[in-house]
Amino acid sequence: MKKEAADHDFGGEELIPFGILNTKLGDVTLYISRTKVTADFMVDCMEDYWLENRAKFPQIKKIVLNLDNGPENSSHRTQFIKRLVEFSMKYNLQIELAFYPPYHSKYNPIERVWGVLEQHWNGDILDCRETVLKFAGTMTWKGNNPTVKMVEKQYSADVKLTKAEMVVYEKAIIWKKGLES
């Protein structure tokens, strides 16, 4: 029996991927969510990744996050900055944000991961969650399969801090001249 395909045919369920690429090890962790990718979702994924992998890096005190300067992770997003500062303080890590210039995603290595994933499923019909997770888990990046996690938590995109609330978090940030996003 022939199945009809739509642009993002996840069987009526919208699934949104978020990826963490460790450029030093070449490993990929893909998080799949049913809700919009928000600042809280991204930092929760970063924390999950750190908890799963920090034993590999006992000497690490600084993490550089290469970001695409998208609407969810801009340096002007209050909830994103708040959550990163809290993450940094909780794990005693210095976090440096390195933003790719707008419209220059071709330089961002995670974009190549998405290209490999798209070629891997090569037009197959992604009609259910299990199919999406299977394809994501069987792709290879630098000879390895990614870790794939389904995130069930629901996230709200409307979480924002007031200017007064942000003062506390902005004091924890070291801004380097000429690197504003």
The pLDDT value recorded for residue 145 is 96
The pLDDT value recorded for residue 74 is 67
Report helix angle 163-170 to 78-90, nearest 10.
Answer: 40
Q: Say if domain 16-170 classifies as CATH 1.10.10.
A: no
For residue 83, what are the CA distances in angstroms to 3, 15, 64, 132, 136? Answer: 43, 23, 16, 29, 27
Of 50, 109, 58, 100, the residue nearest 75 (C-alpha) = 100
Encode pLDDT of 110-133 as tens digits.
888 989 999 998 878 888 889 999
Determine the Cα–Cα distance for residues 95 and 136; give it in Å rounded to an integer. 28
User: Across the chain, where does the E strand assignment appear?
Assistant: 16-22, 27-33, 62-67, 94-99, 147-151
pTM (two decimals): 0.84
> What is the phi/psi pair of residue 55, to 5°?
-65, -25
Q: Are 43 and 159 in contact (CB under 8 A)?
A: no
Around 145, how many Cα atoms within 13 Å sit in the side-chain half-sphere? 10
The pLDDT value recorded for residue 175 is 65
Parts of the chain with a pLDDT under 50: 9-10, 179-181
Strands 94-99, 27-33: pairing is unpaired
Q: Are 144 and 30 in contact (CB under 8 A)?
A: no
Task: List the domain boundaries for the chain.
Answer: 16-170
Structure tokens at 137: 């888990």
